Amino acid sequence: MKILVTGANGYIGRHVVTVLLNRGCDVIACDITTKDVDNRAKCMDFDLFNLPDGNVFELFGSPDVCLHMAWRNGFVHNAPTHIDDLPAHLNFITRMIDGGLKQLAVMGTMHEIGYWEGAIDENTPCNPISMYGIGKDALRKACSLYARPHDCILQWLRCYYILGDDKKSNSIFGKILKAEEDGKTKFPFTTGKNKYDFINVDRLAELISCSVMQREVNGIINCCTGKPISLAEQVESFIKDRGLSIRLDYGAFPDRPYDSPCVYGDTSKINSILSAKSWAVRTY
In three-state secondary structure terms, 159 is strand
pLDDT at 255: 84
Residue percentage of the chain with pLDDT more than 70 = 95
Known active-site residue 146: no
pLDDT in tens, 172-231: 888 999 999 999 999 999 999 999 999 999 999 999 999 999 999 999 999 999 999 999
pLDDT in tens, 87-139: 999 999 999 999 999 999 999 999 999 999 999 999 999 999 999 999 999 99
What is the topology classification, in CATH, of domain 2-162+198-226+264-280? Rossmann fold (3.40.50)
Using the predicted structure, report yes or no on whether residue 79 has a pLDDT greater than 80.
yes
Strand partners, 243: none
Q: What is this structure's pTM?
A: 0.92
pLDDT at 167: 65
pLDDT at 257: 76
pLDDT at 282: 42
- What are the residues whose beta carbons fall under 8 Å from the beta carbon of 173, sequence distance 6 or more? 163, 166, 235, 238
User: How many residues in the chain?
Assistant: 284
- What are the residues whose beta carbons fall under 8 Å from the beta carbon of 70, sequence distance 6 or more? 6, 7, 10, 30, 31, 48, 89
In three-state secondary structure terms, 229 is strand
pLDDT in tens, 20-77: 999 999 999 999 999 999 999 999 999 999 999 999 999 999 999 999 999 999 889 9
Using the predicted structure, report yes or no on whether residue 168 has a pLDDT greater than 90.
no
pLDDT at 281: 42
Catalytic residue from among 11, 132, 160, 264: 132
Distance between CA atoms of 184 and 3, rounded to whole angstroms?
A: 44
Distance between CA atoms of 148 and 268, rounded to whole angstroms?
A: 23
Using the predicted structure, report yes or no on whether residue 284 has a pLDDT greater than 50.
no
- What are the residues whose beta carbons fall under 8 Å from the beta carbon of 93, sequence distance 6 or more? 66, 68, 104, 106, 143, 146
| Cβ(263)–Cβ(118) below 8 Å | yes
- What are the residues whose beta carbons fall under 8 Å from the beta carbon of 49, sequence distance 6 or more? 85, 88, 92
Domain ranges of the chain: 2-162+198-226+264-280, 166-195+229-249
pLDDT at 50: 96
CA 53 to chain centroid, in Å, comes to 29
In 85-212, at which residue ranges do the beta strands (DSSP E only) sit? 103-109, 118-120, 153-159, 161-163, 186-188, 195-196, 198-200
- What are the residues whose beta carbons fall under 8 Å from the beta carbon of 140, sequence distance 6 or more? 106, 108, 112, 156, 220
pLDDT at 164: 86
| Cβ(283)–Cβ(217) below 8 Å | no
pLDDT in tens, 248-281: 999 999 987 778 899 999 999 999 999 986 444 4
